[in-house]
């Protein structure tokens, strides 16, 4: 009985330590990114490319995912404001029936962005992959990240640690019950971001280089 109690207490202590470490990691990322993150396009510099981070097009309740829709709203706003010339939409497409970048492209076209201004990264399976591939595959060393503020902050942190000059345009956040999981996931994701920076985790997929603005969008 004492052994079981000891194991339970040790497990609880470990969980508490990890939770505190994740919270601190998230707070440090927020402070790091704050000077580079804006809600007004006019507060951002003019760059060639915005990196639009992917999300599931369909939300847990079966309707349009508001994270996804609000990111596309923000990306289109940024493009219309003339802050960027091109949008690089990066997301997951590992399954034949699931293609975030193509859904993002279609949504942006519906918002008035021409197809010639949209490039797709089909291997953005994680935020770090999207950021690192923006440089290694698409040749970008200055960019604006588009996502909800907490997500854009993590991408800014990852990008600047990789030597990319990155700013963030915060999309409208989601105030719905189904966003609780996403909100909580930010903490272990922040801890993972620090780990990825320390060990220099490579993206899962490489690929031929694509020059945005020279090579045609696929």
Report the topology of domain 2-199.
Answer: Rossmann fold (3.40.50)
pLDDT at position 194, please?
87
Answer yes or no: are the C-beta atoms of 112 and 19 closer than 8 Å. Answer: no
- Residue-level pLDDT at 190: 85
Query: Residue 134 and residue 74: Cα distance in Å, rounded?
Result: 19
- Return the closest-CA partner of residue 99 out of 108, 91, 109: 91
Per-residue pLDDT, averaged over 158-170, amounts to 97
State the Cα angle at 123 between 27 and 162, rounded to 5°: 45
> Of residues 16 and 199, which shows the higher confidence score?
199
Residue of higher predicted confidence among 170 and 58: 170
Domain ranges of the chain: 2-199
Helix (H, G, I), strand (E, B) or coil at 114: coil
Residue 204 pLDDT: 87
CA neighbor of 50 nearest in space, from 75, 82, 80, 77? 75
Residue 69's pLDDT is what? 96
State the alpha helices, DSSP H only, in the chain.
2-33, 66-80, 100-110, 127-136, 149-161, 180-199
pLDDT exceeds 60 at position 159? yes
Task: Supply the pLDDT for residue 199.
Answer: 87
Structure confidence at residue 170 (pLDDT)? 97
What average pLDDT is seen over the chain? Answer: 88
pLDDT at 21 over 90: no
pLDDT digit string, tens, across residues 169-181: 999 998 765 666 6
pTM over 0.85: yes
pLDDT band for 157, please (50, 70, 90 cuts): very high
What residues contact residue 211 under an 8 Å CB cut-off, 6+ apart?
Answer: 138, 139
pLDDT confidence of residue 27: 86
| Among 103, 140, 136, CA closest to 120 | 103
Region of poorest pLDDT, from 89-93, 95-99, 120-124 = 95-99
Q: Which has the higher per-residue pLDDT, 97 or 143?
A: 143
Q: Checking phi first, is residue 139 left (phi over 0); if not, alpha (psi -120 to 50) or beta?
A: left
């Amino acid at each position: 009985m004492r052994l079981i109690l000891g194991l339970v207490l040790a497990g609880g202590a470990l969980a508490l330590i990890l939770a505190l470490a994740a919270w601190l990691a998230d707070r440090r990322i927020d402070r790091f990114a704050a000077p580079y993150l804006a809600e007004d396009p006019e507060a951002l510099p003019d760059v060639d490319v915005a990196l639009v981070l992917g999300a599931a097009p369909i939300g847990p309740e079966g309707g349009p995912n508001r994270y996804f829709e609000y990111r596309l709203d923000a990306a289109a706003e940024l493009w219309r404001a003339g802050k960027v010339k091109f949008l690089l939409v990066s997301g997951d497409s590992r399954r034949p029936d699931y293609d975030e970048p193509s859904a993002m492209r279609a949504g942006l076209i519906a918002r008035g962005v021409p197809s010639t201004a949209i490039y797709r990264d089909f291997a953005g399976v994680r935020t770090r992959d999207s950021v690192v591939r923006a440089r290694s595959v698409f040749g970008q060393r200055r960019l604006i990240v588009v996502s909800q503020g907490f997500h854009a902050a993590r991408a800014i942190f990852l990008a600047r640690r990789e030597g990319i000059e990155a700013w963030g345009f915060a999309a409208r956040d989601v105030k719905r019950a189904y966003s609780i999981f996403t909100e909580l996931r930010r903490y272990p994701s922040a801890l993972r971001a620090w780990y990825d920076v320390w060990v220099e985790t490579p993206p899962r997929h490489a690929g031929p280089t694509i020059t945005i603005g020279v090579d045609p969008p696929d």
